[in-house]
């Protein structure tokens, strides 16, 4: 960045190419959103926007510093969600309906690395500063929500997030809102779910001669061992849905794992509710079969431990089942639940976002979640207003500083290892490496760096 005139010219050309590429792909995104908004499937969705408006595409500028902590996120939220988000920031008939038990839920999803956590947390802070009681829940295994809020969220419970230094948002209420956040561990939640099933029906291949029961147990075992992607997130959400309901929140923001799991997550609650029903039915067969029950009891060495474990597991699964029905009810209510797609202005990210938009709109008529907003992060300023050198310095400075600190942290981490892995640095390419020739250019850089080892 601080090199000679030739290097500065090269960076300026690179910056201009990035700007042109973003303009192209954001334009394609807007066209896709307009096409979907005009479709019969979108317009007939009963949870449509007021006035039957189309999908709003919001561009968030590239900032030359990391926005971390509640005050910074509050600033970002105030800038990003000031216009077009009145449904979430304001108070409408659904908010004032005492018979309504569903909060408004915003599911933030998209490709990995596009800023979902920053977007979801800034939206949550903005809604809280508008006077709403907000629950912000992350099901992303990366657990970066605490980093974004600059606070520890360990413990697996909702924690209050102080709103110090966050100004009120226009369009909200005069009262004070609140924000509570939590990170949940999908892997441990899924293990608990599997363990509850194992305790209830046992894991014994010997069925005492009952071939029908053996066949049922084997079929259930195969289903449980091959649960669809997204199951871990749904099971984790099931653990907190009642907690959210008891907290009297009127807004819930979900920061989800990358795209593929999110799509599965939306259709999984009904599948798991049916699976639990089958498990409970098998449990009743096990308890009515004296031979099977004797075998399971001998495996546990104690009949009463078996009965206690079965009762405990049955209670846990029934609670899971009720939560699944609650999640299904919530996801199937397009007046309460919406999907916010987060992306960046690159070809791969935009293409995946358009696929996600089409899948949500046309893929499953039983899943009427509506996409009302798309947020495009890291948009570079391409206006020719005589300040291009300053924009370029800000862009390159932020990029260089961020990369330098990250590479240094990687080196510090691997240097402490007895047998450290090789650290390979690949020069930033001026275009996305797509196709055979693009990937070949990338592979040549990887091959050229094979001799690099961690710094001392």
Q: What is the pLDDT of residue 450?
A: 55
Provide the β-strand partners of residue 159: 181
Q: Which residues are catalytic?
A: 140
pLDDT tens figures, 99-118: 666 788 898 988 888 999 99
What distance in Å separates the CA atoms of residue 302 and residue 250, rounded to the nearest whole number?
48
Local structure of 139: helix, strand or coil: coil
Most confident range (mean pLDDT) of 135-144, 225-234, 291-300 is 135-144
Cβ 261 vs Cβ 350: under 8 Å:
no
Q: Say what the pLDDT of residue 88 is.
A: 86
Across 54-80, average pLDDT: 90
Q: Is the pLDDT of residue 340 over 80?
A: yes
Cβ atoms of 340 and 374 within 8 Å: the answer is yes
Q: CA–CA separation, 159 vs 181, rounded Å? A: 5
Q: What is the mean pLDDT of the chain?
A: 76
For residue 93, what pLDDT band results from cuts at 50, 70 and 90? low
Q: Is the pLDDT of residue 141 over 60?
A: yes
User: Model confidence over 200-223: pLDDT tens digits?
Assistant: 655 544 444 455 555 555 555 665
In DSSP notation, 96-127 reads T-TT--PPEEEEEE-STTS-HHHHHHHHHHHH
- List all residues 6 or more positions away from 137 whose beta carbon is below 8 Å from its beta carbon: 181, 182, 183, 184, 237, 240, 244, 252, 253, 254, 255
Is the pLDDT at 435 greater than 90, yes or no?
Answer: no
| Angle of CA points 89, 122, 56, to nearest 5° | 60
251 pLDDT more than 70: yes
Mean pLDDT of 436-440: 84
Coil, strand or helix: which one is 358? helix
Looking at residue 128, its pLDDT comes to: 93
- Whether 64 has a pLDDT exceeding 70, the answer reads yes
Residue range 271-292: mean pLDDT, rounded: 61
For residues 56 and 37, what is the distance between their CA atoms, to the nearest angstrom? 10
- CB distance 378 to 412 below 8 Å: no
Cβ–Cβ < 8 Å for 375, 122: no
- Compute CA distances 414 → 4, 118, 401, whole Å: 33, 28, 20
If pLDDT is split at 50, 70 and 90, which confidence band does 291 have?
Answer: very low
Query: Is residue 445's pLDDT more than 80?
Result: no
């Amino acid at each position: 960045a601080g090199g000679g005139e030739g290097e500065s010219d090269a960076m300026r050309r690179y910056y201009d190419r990035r700007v042109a590429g973003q303009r192209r792909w954001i334009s394609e995104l807007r066209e896709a959103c307009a096409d979907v908004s005009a479709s019969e499937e979108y317009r007939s969705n009963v949870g449509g926007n007021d006035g039957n408006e189309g999908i709003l595409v919001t561009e968030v500028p590239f900032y030359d510093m990391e926005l971390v902590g509640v005050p910074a996120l509050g600033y970002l939220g105030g800038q990003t969600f000031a216009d077009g988000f009145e449904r979430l920031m304001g108070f409408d008939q659904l908010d004032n309906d005492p018979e309504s038990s569903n909060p408004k839920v915003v599911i933030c999803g998209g490709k990995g690395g596009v800023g979902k956590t920053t977007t979801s947390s800034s939206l949550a802070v903005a809604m809280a500063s508008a006077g709403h009681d907000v629950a912000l829940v992350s099901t992303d295994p990366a657990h970066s929500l605490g980093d974004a809020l600059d606070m520890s969220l360990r413990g697996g419970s909702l924690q209050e997030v102080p709103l110090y230094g966050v100004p009120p948002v226009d369009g909200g209420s005069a009262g004070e809102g609140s924000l509570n956040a939590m990170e949940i561990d999908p892997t441990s939640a899924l293990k608990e779910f599997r363990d509850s099933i194992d305790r209830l029906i046992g894991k014994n291949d010997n069925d005492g001669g009952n071939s029908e029961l053996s066949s049922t147990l084997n079929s259930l075992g195969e289903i449980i061992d091959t649960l669809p992607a997204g199951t871990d997130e749904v099971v984790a959400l099931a653990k907190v849905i009642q907690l959210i309901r008891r907290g009297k929140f009127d807004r819930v923001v979900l920061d989800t794992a990358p795209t593929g799991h999110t799509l599965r997550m939306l259709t999984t609650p009904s599948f798991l509710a049916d699976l639990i029903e089958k498990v409970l039915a098998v449990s009743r067969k096990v308890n009515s079969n004296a031979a099977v029950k004797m075998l399971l009891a001998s495996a546990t060495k104690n009949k009463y431990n078996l009965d206690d474990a079965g009762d405990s597991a049955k209670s846990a699964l029934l609670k899971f089942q009720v939560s699944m029905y609650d999640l299904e009810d919530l996801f199937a209510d397009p007046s309460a639940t919406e999907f916010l797609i987060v992306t960046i202005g690159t070809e791969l990210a935009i293409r995946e976002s358009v696929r996600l938009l089409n899948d949500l709109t046309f893929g499953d008529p039983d899943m009427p979640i509506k996409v009302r907003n798309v947020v495009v992060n890291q948009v570079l300023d391409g206006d020719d207003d005589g300040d291009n050198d300053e924009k370029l310095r800000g862009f390159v400075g932020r990029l260089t500083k961020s990369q330098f600190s990250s590479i240094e942290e990687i080196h510090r981490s691997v240097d402490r290892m007895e047998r450290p892995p090789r650290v390979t640095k690949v020069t930033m390419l001026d275009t996305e490496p797509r196709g055979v020739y693009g990937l070949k250019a990338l592979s040549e850089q990887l091959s050229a760096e094979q001799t690099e080892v961690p710094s001392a």
